[in-house]
Every structure is written in C-alpha cells, then in structure tokens.
Structure 1
Amino acid sequence: MHYFTPKRCASSRKIMYHDKAQAQRAANQAMLERGAELWVYRCEYCGQWHLTHHDPSDERLLYGMRSSRKPRSRKRGFKPRRK
C-alpha cells in the first residue's frame, strides 16, 4: 500500500500547497471532516500556501502579542535577579 506524503516547508514544517485554490479546498475539507476552521496564507519563507488555525483578522496577531510582555525564562522555578 502506498500513501501520499505531502511536501513540507523547511522552516515551519507545514504542508505546502501550490496555489491558493488548492489550499482553500483543503481548508474546506478539514471543516467538513473535522469541524476545524482554517485560514489560508502565503508563507514568507517558501512562497507556497499554508493553512493556519489563527484568524488573520485578529489584532493581537498583527501587533505581536508576545512583544508587549517581558521575556521569560524556560527554566522551571527560574527567578530573575533584581538590578
């Protein structure tokens, strides 16, 4: 038995679609099969089309939600030094 293995983007590891229409068909199929609402966007790294769960009209994503917060350490129990 042979399975189709889709090409993936080297930077984001998401499935690459050749055109917007093909990506939109995949998003519509995901909505019918799984009830997942997906949006289509063009990747700035590979130039192909990808799917995302994040709504592109959401303002927090446009301005960068993490940029307003202070960076945090990934270490568990880390307490920053006071200056």
Structure 2
Amino acid sequence: MSQTYDCTRPEGHEAGLAAALAAVKGGRLIVMPTDTVYGIGADAFDNDAVASLLAAKHRGPDYPTPVVVGSWDTVTGLVRDADARMKALVE
C-alpha cells in the first residue's frame, strides 16, 4: 500500500516523516523529493531493501546507487576498504 504525504504542510510533515521512517525500518522503499528530482530511498544496511531498490531502478549490483551518509562511522560500515584517500574524498 502506498501513501502520499504533503510534508510542506504542517499537518503532513510529522505524519510523512513517521511513515517514511517506518517504511524504511520495515525494509520497504520510499520516494522522496531532492533538490532536483525525486529519489528512491532504502536502508543501505538491509540487503533485501537494496536488492528491491536496484530492481526498481533496473540496475544490477555492478551499477550501485549513491548512498547519503551522516557520519564517518556509516561510511566504514558500508565499504569494504576505507583508506585515507577515500576518507579525503568523502570529507
């Protein structure tokens, strides 16, 4: 079941964020606006959710999608080898 929330309105903001969080925690995909286009989101630590995201985007594991991270700990949890060069690029 899909639901649309208008998060630009006060009455939709809290409900929309709560629904998005519940969906992601439940392994489902969400659609969210970005600064230029709509994006499809999922929990990058949930392998089934990532597989669903790749399928929705008609991509295989050889063409990964970007991941937005909020901390260096998240980066090191997602990559196999985190070296100084990669850390410099991220920073």
- In the superposition, the TM-score normalised over structure 2's length comes to 0.27
Higher gyration radius (CA): 1
Q: Greater RCO between the two (CA within 8 Å, min separation 6)?
A: 1
